[in-house]
Amino acid sequence: MSFTVFLGNLPTWVTADDIKQWLAAEDLVADAVKVIRNHETQESKGFAFVEAPTADEMQAIIRRFDRAPLEDRLLRANPAQPPKGKDGRPVQAAAPTNGERPPAPAGQQRPPRRKRGGKDRERTPRSAFANELAKAL
């Protein structure tokens, strides 16, 4: 289970080392800190993710930093949400590589997987061209 804190509304000058120092000064523990940067300019985008070792530590970080003043702004700290795709839905983990399908979403059933080759290949073709091609082969 992941205990990740979203830390937002940061000034662009804030680095991961700055956040680590703030945590250490408050006797808070983080496994990792990642400040999100623009890929082209390498400037901070104004938010970071802090990985906490436990749920209690995550809550302590949130209590300390949510609405904490820094310069002329108030920081935001809350549990991180899973990443979302372009359609606004949560991004799902990659499919298993062992050939199995991931489980269906809650309350839904997946249709049975069709086999390639075999009887499914011998179905009636869908077009006149496919009929002629099937006869020729």
Give the start-to-end residue ranges of the domains of the chain.
4-79
- What are the mean pLDDT values of the chain's consecutive 10-residue runs (137 residues total)? 91 95 94 95 95 96 96 95 76 59 66 59 59 66
Q: Which class is domain 4-79? A: alpha beta
User: Could you report how far apart the first and last alpha carbons of the chain are, in Å?
Assistant: 55
What pLDDT is recorded for position 2? 79
Contacts of 29 (CB under 8 A, 6+ apart): 23, 52, 53, 57
pTM assigned to the model: 0.62
What pLDDT is recorded for position 30? 94
Contacts of 59 (CB under 8 A, 6+ apart): none
